[in-house]
Structure 1
Amino acid sequence: MTERRSPTIRRRRLGAELRRLRDAANVTIDGVAERLECSASKVSRIETGHTMATVRDVRDMLDIYGVGGVERDELIQIAREARQKGWWHPYSTVLTGAYVGMEAAAGSIRAYEQQVVPGLLQTEEYARAMIRSARPDITADEVEQRVRVRLGRQSLLTQDDPIDLWVVLDEAVLSRPVGGDAVMRTQLERLVEAADLPNVTLQVLPFEVGAHAGMDGTFTILDFPEPGDPDVVYAENATGGLFLEKSEELQKYAFIFDHIRAAAIRPEETVALIAKLAKEPLWKSRQKGSAWT
């Protein structure tokens, strides 16, 4: 998985360019739909990147907007690339490829996680235990497919052009033994190893901080290297997740992340803490139910 030209991002970029050209040509969505003999909602979905445009659709749109020359050729080529299948396509029955596609094209990722180790840093055993617990409604085969996707994504950290990953983990992530004692100890050791990579930064937000800027929930900010690809915030939930792209939303989450990492302990202290917890885990220091007796 070394190819960074994600079809998801190509589709998103193509839609943005088609929207810009339509506005410049002073043509309405209804006008385009009438010329293409399709619904206005289809045109809108193409422009937002939610629907894959055929090369013929793109050619016809460019004819309407009067676009020719090099710009036309480049957009038609993007349309072809957008229709290619990402490496994750065989697993489309068990996941939505939108986030994976954007992640594959990101230059850097900033994430705050309240409950679990982020997928890019999970061990196989931790991933399997987490998915089984979080999705009791799916089959064993679906669990294994999700695990394979999660492990496949992790090459983004070690390939020739790796992403930069900055993660702030709530202390709760380190305190809950997902998969049991042995699995969680190995997971903590994996975090220490990952933090040694030059493109990975880890911080822990300790309980003693109290209330903080990230109380509303987990989120991920994806930054893209190309100027034509605006950043995205992804807020995950049980039904899939929400993508936020408005400038004010991006500014808000960047502001929140800056406050969270300022409140967290420094990266070098984080690594020392995680290494210590791998040997003396928090869940071993208390007997089950002892806090309530």
Structure 2
Amino acid sequence: MTWRRLRAAMLSALLGLAAWQALADPAQLRARHAELRDELRNNGFGEALHIDSAESGDALKGDVYAVLEHPFARVRDALREPPSWCDILILPFNTKYCHAVGAADGPALRVRIGRKHDQPVEQAYRLTFAFRNVAAQADYFETRLSAAEGPLGTRDYRISVSAIPLEGGRTFMHLSYAYGYGMAGRLAMQAYLATVGADKVGFTRTGRDAAGQPQHIGGVRGAVERNAVRYYLAIDAYLDSLAAPPPQRVETRIRRWFDATERYPRQLREMDWPTYAAMKRHEYERQQTLLQ
């Protein structure tokens, strides 16, 4: 690696670390809500939602800001528990397994990520997220997940969720999803974008086409936005399911997540409901057992 490329990689890592450390700031989140207040009320999503993304060197980051129709205490109490996160992370189609475990340096989530809906779990990539509750106060909450390595040459996975209470029993939440990649990861992403991901787009609008229809960002930023929104919808579906009787909660959150993704078919549609439901019912049953 040349000095120039090494310096760029170090700068990217330092910028990512600085952003990661700065997340635990309730005043900053309140200020962000004030900045986005009008957009959250009037946007093209049909819900109180703002989506953004950034690419810096060999790092990608997607951000979702949303108003949840759930009281802050419910959000805080649910999302500070590692097992709850496995019930959330299993909802996106490419998560094949998740199990919360204890570790010497704190709780962790053992996750397996795959692609095909019928892929054996043994062939899925193993990913271990360190789990850390940063804050669980009366007026601010934050939890962070981090993994040093990921599939296909990716690294430095970071998922953070922070939240503050709003009037009317609602909650303002910020979800941040980021990762880095090397040459192998770049090549894998290029191959994906040239084939099955060629027609996929993100959520950020870049203009309008000749017919006046909105155009959306593509490429790697489109990809990171799609993943960030999948996790946001999974959190919302999980929180929705808590209102159902316990025996119905798994089926409720599976249905809610799928229906929510169908609101954005161009970005998020991957399979039909029978295929998705059968897959997730099986995967939920499997994640009750710790796999080695």
**TM-score interval (norm. to shorter):** under 0.3
The structure where strand makes up a greater share of residues is: 2
TM-score (norm 1): 0.24
The structure where helix makes up a greater share of residues is: 1
TM-score (norm 2): 0.24
Q: Report which of the two structures shows the higher radius of gyration computed on alpha carbons.
A: 1
